[in-house]
Amino acid sequence: MKTEEFVCVVCPNGCFVEATYKKGESGAPSELFEAKGYACPRGETWILQEIENPVRTIAGSVTVRGGDFPCVSVRTKKPIPLSKVRDVMDAIRKLRPEAPLAIGDVLQVNPAGAETEIIVTRTVRRKETV
């Protein structure tokens, strides 16, 4: 059994949540036994997810070819397992899209085997040549 303090990130309250859990062995998920300190029901849901199946949404930027800006911001459409963050970031670093790009454009499906899409979060127009 392990007891650890977390700061809940679901809302601006930033509650300190004390969680007692059993760490999973050999790739098995951890198991939450008790949590206290959260002020709202969302905190209870969050700590359960954070202990048993932590996920993250990734945001970053990639270089654009032929754009009126040198880079475009991107993010994962859905949260991915924490264990896949490094591999997905490696996949994002390799992207070199060509302008024009619009918000919501999909640059990659299932990067590094994660069940999400890498989408554009900024419009980049094609650079005008003179």
pTM of the model: 0.80
Same domain, 89 and 104: yes
pLDDT given at position 74: 98
Same domain, 25 and 78: no
Same domain, 89 and 42: no
Residue 22 falls inside a structural domain: yes
pLDDT band at 130 (very low <50, low <70, confident <90, very high): low
- Give the number of domains in the chain: 2
List, for residues 2-59, the tens digit of each pLDDT value. Answer: 899 999 988 898 999 999 999 888 777 788 999 999 998 899 899 999 998 899 999 9
Same domain, 47 and 64: no
Residue 129 falls inside a structural domain: no
Looking up residue 76, the CATH number of its domain turns out to be 3.10.530.10
Residue 36 falls inside a structural domain: yes
pLDDT given at position 113: 96
Residue bearing the bigger pLDDT, 11 or 60: 60
- Of residues 69, 109, 71, the one with CA closest to residue 91: 109
Residue bearing the bigger pLDDT, 24 or 81: 81
Residue 127 falls inside a structural domain: no
User: What is the pLDDT averaged over residues 65-83?
Assistant: 96
pLDDT given at position 30: 86
Residue 111 pLDDT > 60:
yes
Domain that holds residue 49: 2-53
